[in-house]
Amino acid sequence: MLVKNAENRGQLEFVSLESLVPQDHLLRKIDAAIDFKKIYEFVEDLYCEDNGRPSVDPVVLFKIVLIQHMYAIPSLRRTLEEVNMNLAYRWFIGYPLNEAVPHFSTVSYNFKHRFNHATVEYVFRWVLKAAAEEGYLDTEAVFVDGTHIKASANLKKQAKKAVPKQAKRYAKELYDEVNKDREEHGKKPFSDDSDKKSPEKKETVISTTDPESGVFHKGEHKKCFAYEAHTACDKHNFILGVHVTPGNIHDSVAFDSLYDELCRYYPEHKTVVADSAYKTPWICKRIFESGRVLSTCYTRPKTKENGHPWWTYVYDEYFDDVICPEYRALHYSTTNREGYREYKSRAYLCKTCPTRGMCTENAKCEKTVLRHVWQDYVEMAEHVRHMAVYRELYRLRKEKIERVFADAKEKHGMRYTQYRGLAQVTNWVKLKFAAMNLKKLATWKWKASHPGPDGGKRTGLGKSAAAIFAAAILVLFPFPLSFPSKKPAMA
């Protein structure tokens, strides 16, 4: 029969938030996983002890921002609206139903003017430290990559500007190595006149809305102003560090700042897993010289079309020559300032070479092959690539760092940012990654204290289910099963 519900909107009731929030709610897991009172310790110096108006509890402010990043709420204004109406959110920040939540401008002002980069960094490291104390971090191998975040800037509002070229981080090491190599070959070393020269400038496009962002255009992606978050994670997908740059900074250029952070907090790591963008001479040298290993992938060579393959030019270490496909020697000529040794052929031999058209179109009939002074380290990375253990680590990359980026963009709203300026975007990204780490930590701790019926995690087949499955297989196939091996047997 039809039943019509009576509207009792004005009815008064005595309720408790504690009884209304489910026991397995995510915010309950987070509240039990970590002691939020620790926040008072590192924000105490940011407040006056005996003067001024009473502040909003800083723990409440941080919890509100964590809610925003945890549930991918696009703005603080919308976040406070949700907190005002959501019972679980109110329980998490400790506000009863009849108490007004803080104004969104209060939260925004505190995170823009009071809680600086050091405070956000402390929160980020505090969550990681809690995960390490629980034994959840596995930093033997770290996975490194970068992802772009669309900036809050209109592509049409742009201007061209001449900016000085950024000096290489390893310029001093490269300069010393080049001069040492030149002296070993009997060449005059370069003079260090970098202080006398004015820095070179290049013309670049900047945004008039957010000048600290950079133009990003790659493949099928739409051209836009963006930032890039260069990120590292461990085997369990905990984000270990992040370095934010404009979107037009190459991954290999931003690697040093990120790697300095990794070496500072996690010096015990043994392997760095990265894609081919990081397989540069300097990065290979830095990692291998530190006693660690770079696990990377194959890099397709950029050679001349319809020319000789790159591997047909063989370096002869004993004679310090390069042997061409026609078995002629290209002798050492010089070492340039960029750190490349130049090996040049003899013009009188190349003039009569039958495959000269596949080798060079130089007017002097001269072929030049470049080899970096740190090329040995790149070859070490190439040898490591074929080892089974490192090949398996690189295979996991799509399940680790790529999964982190996918979760951050799809579940936590990191596809684009409403903030402007490198400092604000950096704090925004670190708080988002701190929320992701905290979510994982809370979920794992809750599963450890609330095991499933079989004593393990509530994922996959339990022991009883696995036994039933095995019995069903024996009933269906009572005879022994044989499967072909992956590799054919040797004759």
Give the mean pLDDT per block of 10 residues along the chain (491 residues).
Answer: 82 85 94 92 85 88 95 94 94 92 93 90 94 94 95 91 80 91 91 68 89 88 92 96 94 93 95 94 95 91 82 91 92 93 91 87 88 94 93 94 95 93 95 96 92 51 44 46 43 36
Separation between Cα atoms, residue 275 and residue 291, nearest integer Å: 20
pLDDT of 5 reads 82
Helix/strand/coil percent split, the chain, to 5: 40, 15, 40
Cβ-contact 341, 373 below 8 angstroms: yes
Alpha helices in 134-250 (DSSP H): 171-184
Separation between Cα atoms, residue 148 and residue 151, nearest integer Å: 9
- Rg (C-alpha) for the chain, rounded Å, is 30
What is the rounded end-to-end Cα distance, in angstroms, of the chain?
A: 80
**pTM (2 decimals)?**
0.85
Separation between Cα atoms, residue 236 and residue 362, nearest integer Å: 53
CB hemisphere CA count around 349 (13 angstroms):
12
pLDDT of 464 reads 46
Strand partners, 330: 322
User: Helix (H, G, I), strand (E, B), or coil: what is residue 160?
Assistant: strand
Separation between Cα atoms, residue 141 and residue 272, nearest integer Å: 6
Strand partners, 141: 271
Residue 473 tokens read as 């297989």
pLDDT of 194 reads 58
Separation between Cα atoms, residue 270 and residue 263, nearest integer Å: 11
**Exposure of 446 by Cβ count < 10 A (0-12 exposed, 13-18 middle, 19+ buried)?**
middle
CA angle 294, 300, 301 (to 5 degrees): 105
Element (H, E) at 394: helix 388-395
Alpha helices in 266-386 (DSSP H): 281-289, 347-350, 356-359, 375-385
- Of the candidates 245, 222, 219, 249, the one whose C-alpha atom is nearest the C-alpha of residue 155 is 222
One-letter amino acid at 359 equals: C
Separation between Cα atoms, residue 233 and residue 243, nearest integer Å: 12
CA angle 126, 127, 130 (to 5 degrees): 90
Sign of CA pseudo-dihedral 209, 72, 457, 35: positive
Q: Which pairs from 244-248 meet CB under 8 Å and 24+ separation?
A: 244/422, 244/425, 244/426, 244/429, 245/214, 245/422, 246/212, 246/213, 246/214, 246/422, 247/148, 247/149, 247/151, 247/213, 247/214, 247/215, 247/216, 248/204, 248/214, 248/215, 248/216
